[in-house]
Amino acid sequence: MSVTDFTPDEMMTITAARALKNTDVCFVGIGAPSAACNIARLTHAPDVTLIYESGTIGTAPTVLPLSIGDGELCDTAVTTVSVPEMFRYWLQGGRVTVGFLGAAQIDRFGNINTTVIGDYDRPKTRLPGGGGAPEIASSCGEIFITLKQSKRAMVDKIDFFTSFGHGNGGDHRQRLGITTKGPTLMVTDLAVWKPDPETREFTVVSLHPGVTREMVQAECGWTVRFATKVIQTSRPTSTELSTLRDLKARTKAAHSGTKNGEAS
C-alpha cells in the first residue's frame, strides 16, 4: 500500500494521535489508544509523557505492548513506580492531563462498558473488565476515546457502567462531584466526535475522507447528531503513515519472534 492510500484503521489511529500535545501527560490504554499515543510521540509530540497502568512513567516503547505488563514498557520508562503510587499520587493527585481509552460498548454520552455483554450474572460475553479505566475516566483532566464503529459497539444503552462518561448528559458529572472534564473527544474509523456543550451528547464534527453521513449512521446504534458545520478530516501525511506502518511492522516482528513478522 502506498502512502497516498490508507485504511480506515490508519485514518483513525493517526487522527487520534493528532489530538495529543507535546506537553500532555497521558494515561494510555492498551490496543488502539496505545497505537495512537505512540504515533503522537514518534511524530509531532516527542516530549509527551506516556503512562501505563503497571506504573511505567515516560515510557517510549519501540514496539506496541501486548499488555500493561509487557517488559518493553518498563525497559524504556524514565521510572517505574508501584501501582498504588501510580493511582494515588499521579492519577488521583490530578497530575495526568489526558486519559486515552478504548471501549467494547459506548453510549452517546461517552459512558463505557468493558465488563460484560448481556446480564451481569448470566452474560453473553465476559469482557476483560475495567482495570484502572474507571479511575482514569474520573480523575484525568479529560478523556479521549478511540474505537471502530459498529452497532454492536456504539449502543443506545450500555449493558454495564464500567467507566463513567457524562452519565445521563448535561451536568451529571458535576452533580456527582466529579470535577474533571470527562470525555471530550471520540475518534472512530469513520468520524471525529465531540460532546455538545449543553447536552454532552457526542456529535459528529468531522467526517474522514470518503465517508458519508449515511455510513456513520449505519454503524451507530443511536440517532447520530451532526454539528452545524461538519468538516473533512485531514488526510494522513506520508510521515504519519510511514511512522505508523513501521511501528506496526516492528510490533508484528517482535511478537511473532521473527525478523520480518512472518510465522516461521
The 3-state DSSP class for residue 228 equals strand
pLDDT of 1 = 53
Q: Domain residues for 183?
A: 8-189+237-256
Q: Model confidence over 43-82: pLDDT tens digits?
A: 999 999 999 999 999 999 999 999 888 888 999 999 999 9
pLDDT at 142 over 90: yes
pLDDT of 196 = 98
Residue 113 CA: distances (Å) to CA of 105, 127, 154, 214: 5, 9, 10, 26
Strand extents, DSSP E, 114-165: 116-118, 123-126, 142-147
Q: Does 261 map to a domain?
A: no
Q: Does 231 map to a domain?
A: no
Q: Model confidence over 158-205: pLDDT tens digits?
A: 999 999 999 999 999 999 999 999 999 999 999 999 999 999 999 999
**Whether pTM exceeds 0.95:** no
Q: Does 64 map to a domain?
A: yes
Q: Model confidence over 14-24: pLDDT tens digits?
A: 999 999 999 99
Q: Does 52 map to a domain?
A: yes
Q: Does 59 map to a domain?
A: yes
Q: Domain containing 118 — which CATH number?
A: 3.40.1080.10
Q: How many domains does the chain have?
A: 1
Q: Is 53 a catalytic residue?
A: yes
pLDDT of 2 = 52
In the set 10, 53, 72, 219, the catalytic residue is 53
Q: Does 198 map to a domain?
A: no
pLDDT of 264 = 38
Q: How do the residues of the chain divide into helix, strand and coil, expressed in percent and rounded to 5?
A: 30, 20, 50
Q: Does 86 map to a domain?
A: yes
> Which of 51, 68, 69 has its CA nearest to residue 60?
51
Residue 91 CA: distances (Å) to CA of 96, 133, 192: 6, 11, 26
Q: Does 195 map to a domain?
A: no
pLDDT at 263 over 50: no
